[in-house]
Amino acid sequence: MKKLLIGLSVTASLLSNTVLAEDADAVAFREAFLSGTATWEDVQARAKEEGTVNLYYWGGSDPINIWMDQIATAGLAELGVKLNPVRITGTKDAIDLVLAEMNSGKGLGEGSVDAIWVNGENFATLKRQNALFGAFADKTPNSVNIEWNADDPRSLLNLRDFGVETGNAEMPWSGEQYVCAANTKRVDRADLPATFAELKSYLEINPGKFTYVKPPHYVGNTFVQAAVYAHNPDGTGAAPFQNSIGDVGAEELARLITPGLEYLKALEPHLLGAQGGNARYPEDIGALDGLFLNGEVDMACKFGLYAVATGLNNGTYPEGAEAFVFPTGNMIKNKNYLAIPANAPNPAATLVMADYMTSVDAQVTKLKFTGMPPGVDPWKLSDEDVQALTEASPGLIGVTQADLDANTAPDTNATLVDVIEATWLEYIERDSTDSIDVIVARAVENLEK
């Protein structure tokens, strides 16, 4: 219904043939800030006038909601900005709203979304639709906490989001790594799989004791990507998946992903519920956590460097849960970001908010209360700040930081994610009889429409 209404308002405005109206004052401010002529004091002064910042984010996690309401709101109030946290069930809702408002002629200073917690395909959509505020992320005072030097390979996650260049239009806010946890009360640590082949043999002995979140949910997509990397026929892992679909081409992509998808197809009869004839893929992380907590599955994989510690702490993980290294060499790591849309109503207040979010204080409390790993880069911080972050960390259980660092892989390019996800849906969920190259070619064609 909401979408219908948005669509309706869009049509109404299309019919009246409006042009993009912009608040001239806000546009002048944007130009001044992006060109570096506005000082941070100017930003702060304007932020106080604007007063409020509307941050849209996925509201499915209680610890994050509490942190927003109690800590971030208080911290920003000290800076003269009122944080209005808008909780949404899917990030895409905020993207839809921004695009609908822009198309109905609402430009800078007139929209309703100031900032979105975002990454991957949703950011790629904003970028493709030219709906971003501009290259702000390296221009705030706290941006010194982040590595922007492209010559340093460690800056990759700040400059590219799922392989898409961020153009500094989003602020790195949080880091994550795809980590699997096992219930060691049910599985002996020695029996834990380290590779996809071992996972399959484990499930042949213990049928139904594993499943993964259903694509197109990003947590499910990531599992599929890890399987695809590990089965790369050239043995080059994640490397060829860093380029966009235009560079890779449908034929080559089909060749690269075929072994991975065939593995997943062969895995399906061993997944949860498949013994009853119908493999069950949970819809989201909440459902997966529930299966893991109830002992319906022995292992669960999701983004969550500190998920085991936080899960044990708030009772959403079973006692005996421990992280383990899986799959060797392909534990996907990424960051998530705060993006400012091109029609943000309060641009200055949003910049102040983004700056606050990357301050060491905010990063420390966020890590402590929510277990979300820092988005700032430790080598850019002072020793005391690193110490503060280490102390705030809920801690790793079952793996060491060295294990995780040694098995890191980058995310897949956002344009390829769409194709791989469509192929999974077609080949595995719908049991299509077409061959993978036909499915991939069709998916690529659909996306280009």
Pinpoint the alpha helices (H) of 129-230: 156-159, 196-205, 218-230
DSSP H or E segment with residue 77: helix 73-78
Beta strand 299-303 with 408-410: parallel, antiparallel or unpaired?
unpaired
Give the binding range for other proteins (CB under 8 A) out of 2-10, 46-54, 70-78, 301-309: 2-10
- Provide, rounded to whole angstroms, the least separation between the CB of residue 287 and other proteins: 9
| 228 or 293: CB nearest other proteins | 293
Binding mask 334-373 for other proteins (x = CB under 8 A): ----------------------------------------
The full DSSP string for 436-447 is HHHHHHHHHHHH
Written as six digits, the tokens of 123 are 């950011």
* Binders in 214-253 for other proteins, by CB under 8 A: 214, 216
User: 284: number of CA atoms within 13 Å, CB side?
Assistant: 6
Query: What angle (nearest 5°) sits at the alpha carbon of residue 335, between those of residues 52 and 108?
Result: 35
SS3 352: helix
How many residues sit close enough to other proteins to count as binding (CB under 8 A)?
Answer: 42
Give the binding range for other proteins (CB under 8 A) out of 240-248, 270-278, 324-332, 341-349: 270-278
| 19 or 449: CB nearest other proteins | 449
| 407 or 412: CB nearest other proteins | 412
Q: What is the largest CA-CA distance in the chain?
A: 68
Q: Is 90 in the site for other proteins (CB under 8 A)?
A: yes
| 316 or 408: CB nearest other proteins | 316
Name which of 330, 305, 324 is nearest 192 in CA terms: 324
257 residue type, one letter: I
| Binding test (CB under 8 A) with other proteins, winner from 33, 58, 173, 281 | 281
SS3 448: helix
Q: Is 268 in the site for other proteins (CB under 8 A)?
A: no
Residues β-bridged to residue 86: 56
* Binders in 11-30 for other proteins, by CB under 8 A: 11, 14
Give the binding range for other proteins (CB under 8 A) out of 114-122, 132-140, 366-374, 403-411: 114-122
| Binding test (CB under 8 A) with other proteins, winner from 35, 51, 69, 92 | 92
Q: Is 284 in the site for other proteins (CB under 8 A)?
A: no
Give the 3-state DSSP-derived string for 35-74, with helices as H, strands as E and coil as C. HCCCCHHHHHHHHHHHCEEEEEEECCCHHHHHHHHHHHHH
Report d(CA 270, CA 209) in Å as an integer.
8
- Tell me how far CA of residue 200 lies from CA of 191, 219, 330, in angstroms: 12, 20, 17
| 141 or 320: CB nearest other proteins | 320
Report d(CA 81, CA 212) in Å as an integer.
41
| 43 or 271: CB nearest other proteins | 271
Q: Is 319 in the site for other proteins (CB under 8 A)?
A: no
- Provide, rounded to whole angstroms, the least separation between the CB of residue 399 and other proteins: 26
Residue length of the chain:
449
Site residues, other proteins (CB under 8 A): 1, 3-5, 7-8, 10-11, 14, 90, 92, 95-96, 99-100, 103, 120-122, 125, 214, 216, 273, 276, 278-281, 283, 290-291, 293-296, 418, 422, 429-430, 446-447, 449
